[in-house]
């Protein structure tokens, strides 16, 4: 490249970037040569710039030797075009102008590299730390747990403005090529300005494929990622987010917790069964209550029917209003306890849950049995180990409830049937959502 070309590139770059106080453009001189460095000091590591660029520049005497040093340094990339250079500058690389050459020196500062404790998917035993918010550290964590030569990765950037780095990880030996192709296509079609975390992908699925249930698993656990890589799944790591995305995901992945494999086999089975029972209860119980009190009290034994009717005797309105009232109160309580600062959280739930429930029954607004049902629903909903899936279940129970209001018991059964058919119709990157058993991936 000619010196004049460099001059124009340099001027262009300077022109395009706003001259704020953290933009540094400096020329360093020795007797023979001069070098120009261009970087943003809030993004780049100045100590490293001192070590890797400035010191060698003054210590290496001949300019040709320094040029060789720049060319052969592993952190240095050659100049490609202006556009790319500007982008790299904006993520923290240092641009070095030396003689008739331009180099990009990767001296980014990694501020969020500390590994965080798991807070969402906690287990009693097993590894306790999750990912960090830095993609490099996360990649390292995965590599550490998955030391396989066949581990492959593809880097891409998503987001027109944010240009977030996303790494697609998979094991070449076990990955399903069709799934991989679909994942690539999916990543290419994403059209968004700000992309900051893997969870956003849930929302970004194309309109025609919008689903109530999440079709990818978001996890903060490196052990979960490693185990899924071995099972032939594709993992997306997003820069700046301590959550990884696992694709494709089927329902049984949502119902399994990492704790299952840190137990003896039968205990693990018991826990899984327990979760499915919880799932069933939280979906069906409110609508069953409406169906049985308002439509078909004769289904149960007479004693039970009478005791339900007796407990409802003070309640002045139909069963479905009672159920709606309590369910909405419960949802509000859950939402509020997420938003509240940690110090006030327990107080709010106590006030809401205990006192409100007690007072509501005493005032004759809801029946005692209703309180039992609402709390059973709330508790069993939290048994679902993955948060996104639990949230979907929270919504589903209302659909069943509406059917039971209009059709009673028949509505509940048909609603459940419809739910099953809907789940069957879902697919996560080509894999049926209700897949129960998966064959061990063939080694390609």
Partner 1 sequence: MNRYLLYLLLVNMLTNIVVYVPKILIDYKYDGAVSAILIAIPIGLFLCIVFCKSISAFPEQGLPEILDQLLNRKIKNIILFIFSGFWYFAGFLTLIGFTDIINRFINPEMSKVSLAVLFAIATCFIIQLPTEKVMYIVEIILVLNVPFVFFIVFKALTNEYFSWNSVFEVGTHLFSWPSFKALSAATYTFSGYMNVLIMNRLFRQKIKGINFIVIGFLSIFNMFTTFFIPIGFHGADGAQEYLYPWTTTADCLRIPYGPIERVIFLFLMLYIGITVVSAAIHWHVAFEFLKGASSKKFTKKKALLILIIFSCATIISEMKITAVQTMFLSTYWLILRFIFEICVVTFVFFLARRKKNET
User: Which residues contribute to the site for partner 1 (CB under 8 A)?
Assistant: 295-296, 298-301, 403, 406-411, 413-414, 417-418, 420-422, 424-425, 432, 434
The residue (of 1 and 417) whose beta carbon lies closer to partner 1 is: 417
Q: What is the dihedral of CA 226, 229, 230, 233, to 10 degrees?
A: 150
To partner 1, the closest distance from the beta carbon of 251 in angstroms equals: 12
Shortest distance (Å) from residue 427 CB to partner 1: 9
Q: How far is CA 293 from the centre of its chain?
A: 41
**CA contacts within 13 A on the Cβ side of 335:** 7
| Torsion region of 429: left, alpha or beta (phi above 0 gives left; psi -120 to 50 gives alpha) | left
Q: Cα 270 vs. chain centroid, distance in angstroms?
A: 28
Nearest residue (CB) to partner 1, 192 versus 413 = 413
Question: Min. distance of Cβ 86 from partner 1 in angstroms?
Answer: 45
Residue 313 CA to its chain's centroid (Å): 47
Q: Min. distance of Cβ 298 from partner 1 in angstroms? A: 7
In the complex, what is the shortest distance from the CB of residue 402 to partner 1, in angstroms, rounded to a whole number?
12
Cβ(426)–Cβ(433) below 8 Å: yes
How far CA 22 is from CA of 40, 44, 46, 90, 111, in Å, comes to 6, 10, 12, 12, 17
In the bound state with partner 1, the residue whose beta carbon lies nearer, of 351 and 434, is: 434
Q: With respect to partner 1, which residue has the nearer C-beta, 354 or 418?
A: 418
Q: Which is nearer to partner 1, 65 or 420 (CB)?
A: 420
Q: Which is nearer to partner 1, 286 or 415 (CB)?
A: 415
Query: In whole angstroms, how close is the CB of 252 to partner 1 at the nearest point?
Result: 14
Residues linked to residue 221 through DSSP beta bridges, in sequence order? 130
Between the CA of residue 343 and those of 117, 339, 346, 352, 391, what are the distances in Å?
20, 11, 7, 16, 24
Of 362, 288, 291, 375, give the one whose Cα is nearest residue 329.
375
* Unique residue bearing structure tokens 């490099």: 136
Please answer whether residues 434 and 251 qualify as being in contact, where contact means their C-beta atoms are separated by less than 8 angstroms: yes
Q: Which is nearer to partner 1, 29 or 276 (CB)?
A: 276
Q: Which is nearer to partner 1, 88 or 404 (CB)?
A: 404
Least distance in angstroms from the C-beta of 382 to partner 1? 25
d(CA 206, CA 185): 12
Minimum distance, C-beta of residue 438 to partner 1, in the bound complex (Å): 15
Q: Are 38 and 97 in contact, with CB atoms under 8 Å apart? A: yes
Least Å from the CB of residue 408 to partner 1: 6
> Please, what is the Cα angle at 208 between 205 and 213, to 5 degrees?
55
Residue 86 or 410: which CB sits closer to partner 1?
410
């Amino acid at each position: 490249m000619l010196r004049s070309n460099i001059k124009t590139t340099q001027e262009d770059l300077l022109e395009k970037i706003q001259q704020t106080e953290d933009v540094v453009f400096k020329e360093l001189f020795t007797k023979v040569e001069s070098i120009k460095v261009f970087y943003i000091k809030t993004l780049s590591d100045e100590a490293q710039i001192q070590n890797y660029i400035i010191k060698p520049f003054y210590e290496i005497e001949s300019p040709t030797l320094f040029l060789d040093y720049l060319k052969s340094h592993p952190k240095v990339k050659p100049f490609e075009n202006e556009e790319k250079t500007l982008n790299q500058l904006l993520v923290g690389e240092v641009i070095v102008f030396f003689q008739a050459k331009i180099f990009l020196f990767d001296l980014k500062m990694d501020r969020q590299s500390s590994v965080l404790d798991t807070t969402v998917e906690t287990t009693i035993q097993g590894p306790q730390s999750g990912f960090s918010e830095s993609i490099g550290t996360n990649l390292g964590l995965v590599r550490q747990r998955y030391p396989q030569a066949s581990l492959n990765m593809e880097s891409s950037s998503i987001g027109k403005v944010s240009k977030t780095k996303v790494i697609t990880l998979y094991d070449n030996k076990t990955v399903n090529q069709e799934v991989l192709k679909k994942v690539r296509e999916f990543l290419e079609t994403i059209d968004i300005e700000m992309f900051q975390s893997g969870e956003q992908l849930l929302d970004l699925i194309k309109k025609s494929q919008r689903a109530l249930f999440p079709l990818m698993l978001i996890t903060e656990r490196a052990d979960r990622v490693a185990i899924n890589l071995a099972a032939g799944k594709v993992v997306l790591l997003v820069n700046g987010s301590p959550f990884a995305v696992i694709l494709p995901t089927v329902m049984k992945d949502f119902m399994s917790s990492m704790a299952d494999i840190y137990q003896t086999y039968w205990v693990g089975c018991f826990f899984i069964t327990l979760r499915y029972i919880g799932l069933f209860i939280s979906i069906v119980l409110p609508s069953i209550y409406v169906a049985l009190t308002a439509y078909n009290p004769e289904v149960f034994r007479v004693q039970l029917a009478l005791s339900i009717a007796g407990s409802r005797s003070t309640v002045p309105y139909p069963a479905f209003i009672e159920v709606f009232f309590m369910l909405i109160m419960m949802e509000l309580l859950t939402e509020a306890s997420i938003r509240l600062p940690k110090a006030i959280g327990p107080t709010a739930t106590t006030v809401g849950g205990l006192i409100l429930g007690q007072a509501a029954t005493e005032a004759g607004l809801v029946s005692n049995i209703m309180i039992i049902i609402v709390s059973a629903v709330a508790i069993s909903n939290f048994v679902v180990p993955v948060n996104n899936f639990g949230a979907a279940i929270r919504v589903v129970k209302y659909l069943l409830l509406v059917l039971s209001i209009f059709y009673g018991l028949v509505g509940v059964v048909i609603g459940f049937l419809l739910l099953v058919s809907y789940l069957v119709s879902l697919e996560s990157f080509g894999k049926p959502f209700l897949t129960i058993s998966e064959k061990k991936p063939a080694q390609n």
